[in-house]
Structure 1
């Protein structure tokens, strides 16, 4: 299966979609009856979706891939067109991607319109429903166990660098507060390519498919973090405010030789205020952030190159190699030479 076949598959009517077209009322009750439900204070029935029951249903309907998805922490499903979903909550993280058309969702009483290229990540226990969809409305649902979302995705991304870690933390706080996140990524060929590649791998699995799927998810979340950063930066600029993400990005790109005074001049801050601003927003002082960046990059060079340690010290911004040795040993309880010997 290739990407052209995936595109054709997404727009081809599924059995469920054909059934919805015949029923005309957009609801197949036999699916929802497998879930528990309750009546809320407004007299509305709310279904409780569970990952286990949806996984079991998927295994029964997709017998050709049952062995691949059995026990999986991630399910990828196409939302059935010509239908709607009733109000429901779930015990998993749901990420919706609008591949084509427009999707209207009611989340906690607010109607939100998702357009082509939009993502919506819903936390557990968020009450929502998807309104009627039509022929051109193609939405991909990524259903993830909570531990998969937090350990496989966010924790791996957060370990990369300070700007990514900050974005992950900010994203997590936003999610905790709002319980859902919206991302707009129109015309992102890179993301579309990643999603279609992931679907090729998912619909036509092989022995390495699980690792490939995880890799594609890392790419997708990385792109969403970039979109989140750009959105936050844009909103701060409109409000005539400095965004800490822009400052952290500058530090990350210039950590070898930038000074607090230089950064203050560029972002039009008083140096003392900037120091306090960085500490309050990033949780670490400017000096600690720079040192972390230098030592992280030293580790990469020690692990992946034969560059002399004295040269590495200079490349990362330490002119005094003895001082570099001291800081490295304080951080890792071993010398740069010992680190290189242990990892290689």
Structure 2
């Protein structure tokens, strides 16, 4: 089943079920299939609360969903994947009619080791990395995987769902192989939030964030910052907001505004050059951000700074 057709099918299941239950079971192609059960998150209002009975995968096919997992808030974007431990408490916060959230709840006896396969043929570095991944999963009780609907990870999850729906020959074996590939590709591309900083219980500090932004504010990105600190972008974004009360980009904009004000006091630098130096690509966007932050235009502030410094360009 093509990806677009799969999403259309899942949407049709949601549209056809007029139920007050928080989740809707997706029937497998073969009722004897017992590797996992698949569900869709219903679109009824309110907070949906769960505790996993076995290792669980959450995959957001469409939309944007706010979750709370073990008291930690995470926002999922389309293509994002989360692995949850058995007996993990989580909540889906106010799902909308545009969201398509798929849940795969596995046999309670399965563990992450079953997905990672045989270690015997791995080299020392690979074994060490997998040990770190499983340790992080045990400590955090979740692994968050970044991606988009077009990413390899999303493609593999869609193939797993497709196998579940169609139940062709060797469906169970193929699903396990696809999940194995999904995890290995995610680990190799560092899409999993399970790097050394997490494993060593690294505590995020605002001073470190400020130092990083101070050094990179002209060309910084959320993904680059998340990789630097050893976190998945979604987790990092939520963590910054939780710890500081501001979003990552609010911190970046604040640093850029401070730099812009400093540069405006220099008569040898034009406003056009300042815009480029602080990391903005367009004049209108810079003026909008500047006015929101200082409640006056760059030209007005420059005039006042020149007046205070007794600079007269006439």
SS in 2 for 1:12: helix
Alpha-carbon distance, 1:237 to partner = 7.4
C-alpha change, 1:6 and 1:142, in structure 2 (3 Å) is same
Structure scoring higher RCO (CA < 8 A, sep ≥ 6) equals: 2
SS in 1 for 2:43: coil
SS in 1 for 2:110: helix
Q: Deviations over 1:244-270 (max 9, x none)?
A: xxxxxxxxxxxxxxxxxxxxxxxxxxx
C-alpha change, 1:118 and 1:159, in structure 2 (3 Å) is farther
Aligned position for 1:8 = 8
Aligned position for 2:65 = 103
Aligned position for 1:303 = none
Taking structure 2 as the reference length, the TM-score comes to 0.54
C-alpha change, 1:164 and 1:148, in structure 2 (3 Å) is farther
Alpha-carbon distance, 1:170 to partner = 0.9
Alpha-carbon distance, 1:204 to partner = 0.9
- How far, CA to CA, are the matches of 1:175 and 1:154 in structure 2? 13
SS in 1 for 2:174: helix
Alpha-carbon distance, 1:79 to partner = 2.5
For 1:1-344, what aligned pairs fall within 5 Å after superposition? 1-14=1-14, 18-20=17-19, 27-28=20-21, 62=27, 65-67=30-32, 69=33, 72-83=34-45, 86-156=48-118, 159-186=121-148, 188-228=150-190, 232=195, 238=228
RMSD over aligned Cα atoms: 3.3
- How far, CA to CA, are the matches of 1:80 and 1:86 in structure 2? 9
C-alpha change, 1:230 and 1:154, in structure 2 (3 Å) is closer
Q: Hey, which of these two has a bigger chunk of helix by percent?
A: 1
C-alpha change, 1:8 and 1:182, in structure 2 (3 Å) is same
**Aligned positions, number:** 202
Alpha-carbon distance, 1:156 to partner = 3.1
Structure 2 stretches of 5 or more lacking a match? 197-223, 231-314
CA contact (8 A) 1:92 1:124 kept: yes
CA contact (8 A) 1:158 1:168 kept: no
Structure 1 stretches of 5 or more lacking a match? 21-26, 32-56, 241-344
